[in-house]
Amino acid sequence: MKPLRTLSIGAFLGLLLLCYDEGATAAEIPDLIVLNGKILTLDENVWFQWPKTQYGGRLLEAMAIKDDTIIAVGTNDEIGKLAGPNTKRLDVNGRTVLPGIVDSHRHITGYRPQDFPQVQAVKVPPSGDKEVVRKGIFDAIKQEVQKKKPGEWIIINPEGDVARQLILFEDIKRADLDRAAPNHPLILNEVGSGPNSQIRFNTTARKIIEKELPGTKFFSDEFIKHDGVNLSGLVIKDVILQGKEAEYAESIKKLVIETHLPYGITSVATRVMRVPLQAYLLLDAKGEMPYRFCWLFSDGSYHNGPGFYRRMPNTAGVGSKYVWSCGVQEEAVDSPSTGMCTTMPSKNAVLTERHKRSGIDTCFLHDPVVRASTKDQLQFQRGTGYHSSGDHTADLIFEMIGEIQRETGMTDQQFKDKRIAFEHLHIIRPDQDPKLKKYGILLGIGTNYMASNLNPNKPDNVAQNYGEEYLKWQMPAKRFLDEGIMVLNNEMGTNPFESLKRIITREVCFTPRLPGEGEIGVEKCMLIAPEQKVDRITAMLMSTKWPAYYLLRENSIGSLEVGKWADFMVLDRDYMTVPEKEIANIKVLMTVIGGKVVYASPDFGVVDKALFKSPEYVGKAVLASAR
């Protein structure tokens, strides 16, 4: 589909004059007008320019919406005159209105656990005693074997660093799991330490996985055990829940309504597997998508092995207004589960010995299968979203781009047109900036990763494992912007305003909850390279308008401009004036997508039921009929 075009100034003025034209047709009259707002449009005159002398857009009072599109913005008087007899009104009572949040890397292909009891894992609590953890694991397996029929999956999730070591150092081998559950496919997946997740399958599980995901046979247990983050979700969704697409669709919809819309999130991009993608397509076909979703097909090397991306059609941009393709993504290009792929010399002897003893290569791109898959993406696809946690991963991707250019003659501009992104950006050296700009790399900043510096258990703790002097290279937003490199705020966590606060203040906080992380329950905070902070408007652009470029919909979402889809949020306080430390406490009172209300807090006040997309979205809102 072609993106909507912004109306000319002449057309906009023509709309404002409709009030004087008694012959105005119904097609020119808005369905909805939004009044009495502080509407921050973010309609910059220049698409991406930094530093800016004037940016951020106008602050207006009102806007008019026809169908799902903004047709005018202006004063209350200007917009009010456009209304017809059937035009609905939404009075936001002087509150701040902003474009809906666009998160370019948000893992929302999951489900509500209560909807699929067959994949609920048994947790084993953390302990500093290896034998206690080992006994807990095998006791849990024994209990599950007694409860479940042969052939039913068993999933065991031990928590903490000791459990991770039991898998890493092969103190628990595949043969041990085979003996414990000879007639059940079994997954042992360490969790509870953020992205640090190690995995091991028994033989029964491995055979099923290799049948359903043929590419996995190219990878040894040695490689697979370090990739629990990707493989746990992939196996659960595309193997165990295969055939449950309709149920999955309903679970996703409820999850989004419950956990995303109350935070103003209106558009999301992320990697996706087959079952979740089919679920989203089912919702879209029924007109029941709760938000806009741009999918990136991922883990192709696990699905189909070498050559997959050479054969796959380039689907980037194809789809509807609610579900479309962003291209492809190979998540497993480095290993934040076990440490960064970096040129920084490690000063942590324990971590270095752990890597050596467990056979860890933190640079997954050294693996010939992953490297070949990623190179095919870069050449044949709109390959984007590389998990570039460390600076050496970026070096290896630059190296592959150079190889492709020498082999095929592809130009720098052709790579810029792919809108390649480095996600979960952790460390990038200043000498890499020219290539980032040369190839038009978009840089995703997941500020929650900065909190790793407060957790001694994290292998991506820069301060502890490499040195505090390298913190100035950690997600340096201002440095990138000064170089003319686009920066995106992504993987924002539960509350996007917490992430915005971190970008604006560079303060991160962490509360230990597992042994070895510090005093449990006592919050710790620190500033990370405060010279890299940015202002509020820039932080919001990083969270709305600029990610829209990543999603291939810069002409349709991300700002409140004439001709764009009417996606916005209403806040309980003024984002531009609230003290910086209180930004994380901002509450979203209403979320609107395509001119339809999909969330309203009781604190907003009375809302006309007819404004909601459907009764599913009413929730605890105060309705006019309930007064």
Q: Is residue 471 part of a domain?
A: yes
Residues 134, 83 share a domain: no
Residue 373 has which token pair?
């898959």
Region 19-47: mean pLDDT is: 72
Q: How confident is the model at residue 265 (pLDDT cuts 50, 70, 90)?
A: very high
Tell me: do 363 and 472 sit in the same domain: yes
Percent composition of the chain: helix, strand, coil (DSSP 3-state, to 5): 40, 20, 40
The predicted pLDDT at position 222 comes to 83
Q: pLDDT per residue over 196-250, tens digit each?
A: 578 999 999 999 999 999 989 998 888 888 888 788 888 999 999 999 999 999 9
Please state, in angstroms and rounded to a whole number, the distance separating the CA atoms of residues 180 and 421: 43
- Alpha helical stretches, state H, 427-521: 433-438, 462-465, 477-482, 496-505
Helix (H, G, I), strand (E, B) or coil at 375: helix
- On whether both 93 and 125 belong to a single domain, the answer is no
Regarding whether 144 and 23 lie in a shared domain, the answer is no
What's the pTM?
0.90
The Cα 187–Cα 200 span in angstroms is: 6
β-pair type (292-298, 62-66): unpaired
Mean pLDDT of 10-16: 38
Q: Same structural domain for residues 72 and 166?
A: no
Does residue 366 share a domain with residue 498?
yes
Region 39-57: what's the mean pLDDT? 58
Q: At a CB cut-off of 8 Å and minimum separation 6, what does 486 contact?
A: 48, 442, 443, 480, 546, 549
In a domain, 111, yes or no: no
Assigned token pair, 470: 């390298």
> Stretch 391-396: mean pLDDT, rounded?
93
More confident residue, 490 or 385: 490
- 323: in domain: no
442-479, pLDDT tens digit by residue? 999 988 888 889 988 888 889 999 999 999 999 999 99
DSSP state of 416: H
Which one of 479, 508, 528 terminates a domain? 528
**CA distances to 308, 555, 566, 576 from 97, in Å:** 44, 19, 12, 11
Query: Domain boundary at 240, 265, 297, which?
Result: 240
Q: Is 70 inside a domain boundary?
A: yes
C-alpha to C-alpha distance for 20 and 282, rounded to whole angstroms: 45
- Give residue 7's pLDDT band: very low, low, confident or very high (50, 70, 90): very low
Residues 71 and 96 reside in one and the same domain = yes
Do residues 173 and 88 share a domain?
no
Number of domains in the chain: 3
pLDDT of 187 > 80? The answer is: yes
413-424: pLDDT as tens digits: 999 999 999 987
Domain membership of residue 400 (yes or no) is: yes
299 within a domain of the structure (yes/no): no
Q: How confident is the model at residue 278 (pLDDT cuts 50, 70, 90)?
A: very high
pLDDT tens column, 499-538: 999 999 999 999 998 888 889 999 999 999 999 999 999 9
Mean pLDDT of 121-146: 95
CATH number at residue 622: 2.30.40.10
Nearest in space to 529 (alpha carbons), one of 500, 508, 510, 511: 508
* Nearest alpha-carbon partner for 184 in 227, 228, 147, 157: 147
Residue 498 lies in a domain: yes
Residues 589 and 514 in one domain: no
554-566 as b/e: b if 16+ CB within 10 A: bbbbbbbbbbbbb
Q: Is residue 539 part of a domain?
A: no
Q: Does residue 94 share a domain with residue 123?
A: no
Domain span holding position 594: 9-100+562-626
Where is the domain boundary, 213, 240, 267?
240
Tell me what pLDDT residue 588 has.
98
Report the run of H or E that residue 189 belongs to, with start and end: strand 186-189
Average pLDDT, the chain: 88
| DSSP structure string for 24-82 | --GGGS-SEEEES-EEE----SSSS-SS-SS-S--EESEEEEETTEEEEEE-HHHHHTT
Two structure tokens written together for 455: 């957790």
Which amino acid, one-letter code, is at 466?
A: Y
Other C-beta atoms closer than 10 Å to the C-beta of 112 total 14
DSSP-assigned beta bridge partners for residue 63:
34, 73
Task: Kindly report, residue by residue over 560-571, the tens digit of the pLDDT.
Answer: 999 999 999 999
Q: What is the pLDDT of residue 14?
A: 39
**Is residue 47 predicted with pLDDT exceeding 50?**
no
415/445 same-domain check: yes
In percent, how much of the chain has pLDDT > 90? 68
Shared domain check, 467 and 381: yes
